[in-house]
Amino acid sequence: MVRIADWLTYADIEQLKQLTRFYGCQTNNQHSKNDLICALLQQFGKKNQLSSQISTLSQAEQRFLQLLVFDQSPAYTFEELLAKGRAALDGTDGEPRSLVVGALKRGWLFPGYSHRTQYLYHLPSDLGKQMCDIFLEPYLQPHFRLMSKPSFYRDEQGQMLDDLRLFLDILGKEDIRLTVDGSIYKQQQKYILQKMAIEEKPITAKGPRFGFGRRYHQYPDRFSFLYDYAFYQGYIIEDREGYLRLNVEKSGKINKQEEAGKEMVKFFIRLYRKPIPHFPIILRWISSLCHPGWMMTEVVFQAVDPWLAPYYYETKESLFDKVVRMLVHLGVLREGVDGEVHYLSLTPMGAKWLRGITAFREKVIEDQFLKLG
């Protein structure tokens, strides 16, 4: 975690002069690196000035900055910064490069100082923390929070994994035949779903059904995710004879609960990246607002609303509801009601699982996953 004071020390004197000119800092000696650093530290040390600067940024510049400060990556290549610039513009007019250059001119990004890091760019840790606080501040008003437990709440920690093991156990003991379209027969679906900790009912309504995954159109929300996860991990096999089989070799290697839970969350992020391209930063917003204590669901939606976009028949609101519902099923969030107000709270396991994986750089695999079917 390298702070702004250290980055200024590593910077060459020409870069320091450029920063003092940009901010209009007064120094006794423009040729003294120490004087330049002291003047700049006074500038960067004033949170109210930083807040004022951020408020004058364009929408694209603010979005670019959020993509930086809500990320947990220690460094970025220039290509990764350009990708963030494109995401910040989100199809509007503008040049991604100008967003990166603007952050460099303000001293919000610094190039590496060693041979190993010279092609990487870094956001000073203390500066990033201040910026994050500035973005969060409007949503952290005391009347938006409930510090005590709500009168009613749901906590499903560990239940998704328990039901995965239950499902695999059933497959190991019974023959599960598939229909022509590849789904489990309704009667056996009903039998499986009734045994689960969170009971669902088979889909009976006719007409189109919208969601994400290979079998979403055939199974209720939670079970379709559980089924798709088991299929992707190779725990289950849809054989050519029309049966759903247990892959004993793979299913016997399910990790311990904490690791398996984190793998499920990773799979969830990958699966939802296609319909919700800005999913990682949405999760960072949710985790930042919902810990500690309980945050009003409506306020959380207001915070992530700018990063959501309708997807076919899904509205911003329905996409948000789907995300929250699945995060509750995964044990990442608790959902509560107090009076008529709905609240969300990050679980202890959810805080661990989201740390470091919401901005992961793995290739998005949903297209590859769909081909498996």
Q: How would residue 368 be classed by pLDDT, with cut points 50, 70 and 90? A: very low
Per-residue pLDDT band for 29 (boundaries 50, 70, 90) equals: confident
> Shortest CA distance to 110 belongs to which of 92, 128, 88, 93?
128
How many other CB atoms are found less than 10 A from the CB of residue 82?
Answer: 16
Cα angle: 184, vertex 159, 170; to 5 degrees: 35
Q: Which of 333, 252, 243, 330 is nearest to 288 (CA)?
A: 333
DSSP labels, 159-192: HHHHHHHHHHHHHHHS-EEB-TTSPBPHHHHHHH
DSSP code for 356? T
Query: 53 exposed, middle or buried (CB, 10 Å; 0-12, 13-18, 19+)?
Result: middle
- C-alpha angle 242/245/246, rounded to 5°? 170
- Identity (one letter) of the amino acid at 213? G
What is the rounded CA–CA span in Å between residue 360 and residue 283?
Answer: 12
Q: Residue 153 forms beta bridges with which residues? A: 336
- What's the gap between Cα 147 and its chain centre? 24
3-state secondary structure 282-340: HHHHHHHHCCCCEEEHHHHHHHHHHHCCCECCECHHHHHHHHHHHHHHCCCEEEEEECC
**What is the rounded distance in angstroms from the CA atom of residue 246 to the CA atom of residue 238?**
9
Confidence bin at 85 (pLDDT 50/70/90): very high
Q: In what order do the strands lie in the sheet with 341-346?
A: 145-146, 294-296, 341-346, 333-338, 152-154
Report DSSP state, residue 11. Answer: S
- Percentage, residues of the chain above pLDDT 90: 75
Please state the rounded mean pLDDT for residues 99-124: 92
Q: Which tokens is 367 given?
A: 């297209």
pLDDT tens sequence across 30-55: 889 999 999 999 999 888 999 999 99
Question: Could you report the per-residue pLDDT of 281-338, keeping only the tens digit for each?
Answer: 999 999 999 998 999 999 999 999 999 999 888 899 999 999 999 999 999 999 999 9
DSSP class of 361: -
As a dihedral over the C-alpha atoms of residue 218, residue 329, residue 199, residue 230, rounded to 10 degrees, the angle is 50
Query: For the chain, what is the largest distance between any 2 Cα atoms, rounded to a whole number of angstroms?
Result: 84
Q: How far apart are CA 232 and CA 215, in angstroms?
A: 12
Q: Which amino acid is at 353?
A: W
**Whether 358 contacts 269, CB under 8 Å:** yes
Which pLDDT belongs to residue 207? Answer: 66
pTM as predicted: 0.89
Positive or negative CA dihedral for 258, 264, 267, 271?
Answer: negative
The values of phi and psi at residue 187, to 5°, are -65, -40
> Nearest to residue 305, comparing CAs of 155, 297, 151?
297
Residue 184 CB: number of other CB atoms within 10 A? Answer: 22
The reported pLDDT for the residue numbered 73 is 85
**Pair type for strands 243-246 and 176-177:** antiparallel
What mean pLDDT is reported for the chain?
90
- Amino acid residing at 285: W
The bridge status of strand 236-238 relative to strand 110-111 is unpaired
| In the block, residue with structure tokens 């990708």 | 83
Least confident of 116-125, 210-219, 234-243, 329-338: 210-219
